[in-house]
Amino acid sequence: MRWYYPFVKRLSDILLSLTGLVLLSPILGIVALCIKLYDGGPVFYKQTRLTEGHKIFEIYKFRSMVVDAEKGGARLASRNDNRITPVGKFIRMTRIDELPQLINIIKGDMSVVGPRPERPEIEAKYLKELPEFELRLKVKAGLTGYAQVFGKYNTTPYDKLRLDLLYINEQSVLLDLKLIVWTIKILFIPESTEGIEEGRKTPSNISGGNRKY
């Protein structure tokens, strides 16, 4: 890592997030109104996540599921999840539900580029079979990254880990710019938002069957 990288990364995070919030404010307003009009529930959804150094924070998202969707316990979204509202299906397909995380980035909880922040209870399940999974927390969690560009919701945790560690090992200003551009491209590929198999709480085949050390 270049000595100037942390400073440049933080400065670009703030500038990009503020610019994004200003430019996207009309879209954010329309989405918020649609969510509220659909069922009268809250517009935003807060969830506990992990970031650099196992720091716990609350991530912000547009609510895409019915109210009390996880009253039976935490589980990831499946391909045909009946908890997802009609408005939720659209904002998940277009990744608009993630845009409120620009606020998390300004606050310093996250970065624009980095490993996606995992939920503590889900990470605990992964660590039982994949102890190396916590290596993702060596850097600040991100809105996008290798795993989001080249993976899917149903990509195995092991493969996500490989992609995240690849980023951590090679991170640079140029790589961050490339990943941001690639992220914009995949917004037009609906398949990239595919969920996991019906009924599962975590992606199947945690290790992926191809672990090499």
Q: Is 210 inside a domain boundary?
A: no
Residue 137 near residue 54, CB atoms below 8 Å? yes
Q: Is 204 inside a domain boundary?
A: no
Q: Is 213 inside a domain boundary?
A: no
Q: Is 177 inside a domain boundary?
A: yes
Q: Is 206 inside a domain boundary?
A: no
pLDDT in tens, the chain (213 residues): 788 999 999 999 999 999 999 999 999 999 999 999 998 999 999 999 999 999 999 999 999 988 877 766 666 666 667 888 999 999 988 889 999 999 999 999 999 999 999 999 989 988 998 899 989 999 999 999 988 888 766 678 788 899 999 999 999 999 999 999 998 887 776 555 454 444 444 444 555 544 433
Domain count, the chain: 1
Domain that holds residue 11: 5-193
Q: Is 87 inside a domain boundary?
A: yes
Q: Is 205 inside a domain boundary?
A: no
Instruction: Please give the radius of gyration of the chain, using alpha carbons only, rounded to the nearest integer.
Output: 17
Query: Measured between alpha carbons, how far is 127 from 141 in angstroms, rounded to an integer?
Result: 18
Instruction: Return the ∠ at Cα 9 (arms to 188 and 18), rounded to 5°.
Output: 60
Tally of CB atoms within 10 A around 104: 22
